[in-house]
Structure 1
Amino acid sequence: MALLLVPGFMADETLWNDMSAALARFGPVLHADLRHDTSVEAMARRALAAAPPSFLLVGFSMGGYVARDIARLAPAYGKRVKALVLVATSTRPDTPAMRQRKGAVGHAAPSVAFSGLSRIAVASSLHPKDKHNEAMIERVRAMGMRLGGEVFRRQSVLERPGDIDRLGEIRCPTLVVAAAQDQLRSLEEARELQAGIPEASLAVIEDSGHMIPIEAPQRLLEVILPWLSSYAD
């Protein structure tokens, strides 16, 4: 068995650094590459093409959209996804305001230097108690700097289509994980995922903002390790 991790917007494999040793119990830990593609489906197809014959799947935030497409595509390849964990994500499409912001980024001159995600934007994704946590803010910003401006522009204009009418196509066991203090994705959005995916479970992590793998890695492990263990054989 292997474990495929799908990161969020402008996040790389270091998103999972505080969890990777514990997750290695399930076999090789692999990371989906979201740097190159301009649609959620293309990202999912790239990840699935590089994945092993069977695997456990964890998607975070934007990666949750990609992970759901992987799960929907995988049955055509022999039901390869044994279990799915969706962390701090949503089934909703982009709002008009989000589409407007993406349009502004898309029309920006390619020559404009990328200086990383702003501290204000990163702080808004964290629990209020961590909005001045410079180490945590810089860790998130560093991921974006490593990925660079081209990836930022590509991921910024990526459309996140709503898939509430397609959640029933996901047939693998699914756990939805939400953060109680997430200012980007609400508990209502997590409950929509749980309600739409057949027999999905929901776990809520207290005292964490959106960046659960960085803000509350041990509590996230406490939730997903026993659950994944049930499907790792």
Structure 2
Amino acid sequence: MAELPLVLLHAYPVDARMWNGVREPLAARTRLITPDQRGLGRSPLPETGREPSLDDAARDVLALLDKLELDRVILGGCSMGGYVTLAVLRAAPERVGGLVLIDTKATADTEEARGRRLAVAERAESEGITGWLADTMLPTLLSEATRSGKPEVVETARQLIESQSPEGVAWAQRAMAARPDSRDALRGADVPTLVLVGEQDPVTPPDAARELADTAPDAKLVVLPGAGHLTPLEDPQGVTAALLDWLP
């Protein structure tokens, strides 16, 4: 794992600016790459004619590695970024020399969760996202401690959400709804793995993170006190410390 670049993939429904709080100290230690994913941030949404799939998002990551002439990297992501990380692992395990799984899971959606995603996708396309998406998402994405005590983090998260395109939001939701179970790929990944989770994450709580860490052959679990689902925004110092302690 030594000297491998670190690629971090952002969560939904934000973009690579969510890594701003960890960028400087990590970049001082290793080569850090934080792309926007398709349809979010500054990355366009290609018209493929295919049903939305995180396999296409994984192909985007592999194309970026090819462009940068990187054979192997430490790959990680937060929430949806973790799903895409596991999609890359399924497609090209030889390109992954280490895993960082932040507030994410390897299981597929339940039917209920899938239905909620598809409803959000349809609403985003019909109404846009202004005035409702951030209000709906913030109580799920940020812990009560963050929402009551860190107004600047709440405002940053709101701005990130509201700057996304409705089309990108809808694509991401449909792609996540269609994702398969990735536990077999993770069980077969014989690489060092860091699992990070916010103590107050309601989406992928610490118990789910422990299951994720137990699935990987060589995993370390770190629980960040007081943080919710977007730990790199809520506790950038904690995320940075965990990564710097784990990196070779």
TM-score, reference length from structure 1? 0.87
Q: Among 83, 95, 101, which residue is 1:65 paired with?
A: 83
Q: For structure 1, which segment, 119-128 or 202-211, has the greater mean C-alpha deviation from structure 2 after superposition?
A: 119-128
Residue from 52, 60, 73 that aligns with 1:46: 60
Worse-superposed segment, 208-217 or 171-180? 171-180
| Number of the residue aligned with 2:13 | 10
Counterpart residue number, 2:99: 84
The residue identity in structure 2 corresponding to 1:128 is E
The residue number in structure 2 matching 1:221 is 240
Question: Could you list the per-position Cα deviations for residues 177-232 of structure 1 after superposition, in whole angstroms to 9, with x for gaps in the alignment?
Answer: 1111111111121112111111222111112111100110101111111211x1xx
Cα contact 2:198–2:229 (8 A) shared by 1: yes
Count of residues in correspondence between the two structures:
226
Q: What secondary structure does 1:23 align onto?
A: helix
Per the TM alignment, residue 33 of structure 1 is displaced from its structure 2 partner at its CA by: 2.1
Segments of 5+ residues of structure 2 without an aligned counterpart are: 40-44, 47-51
Letter in 1 for 2:71: P
Q: 1:74-223 residue pairs with structure 2 within 5 A?
A: 74-75=92-93, 79-108=94-123, 110-115=125-130, 117-132=133-148, 133-158=150-175, 159=177, 160-223=179-242
Shifted more, 43-52 versus 120-129: the winner is 120-129
Shift of 1:130: 2.2
8 Å CA contact retained: 2:77, 2:100? yes
Q: How far, CA to CA, are the matches of 1:126 and 1:107 in structure 2?
A: 24
Q: Trace 1:23-34 onto structure 2 (pairs within 5 A).
A: 23-24=26-27, 25-34=29-38
Tell me if the contact between 1:171 and 1:198 (Cα under 8 Å) persists in the aligned partners: yes
1:109–1:201 CA distance, 2 compared to 1 (3 A):
closer
Identical residues among aligned pairs (%): 31
1:147 Cα offset (Å): 2.2
Residue type of the alignment partner of 1:155: A
Aligned-pair Cα RMSD in Å: 2.0
The secondary structure found in structure 2 opposite 1:119 is: helix
**Which secondary structure state, in structure 2, belongs to the residue aligned with residue 63 of structure 1?**
helix
Q: Which moved more, 1:30-39 or 1:56-65?
A: 30-39
Q: 1:106 to 1:61 in 2, by over 3 A?
A: closer
d(CA) in 2 for partners of 1:196, 1:184? 18
Scaled by the length of structure 2, the TM-score of the pair is 0.83
List structure 1 segments (4+ residues) > 3 angstroms apart after TM superposition: 105-111
State the Cα distance separating 1:167 from its structure 2 match: 2.2
Q: What amino acid maps onto 2:169 in structure 1?
A: F
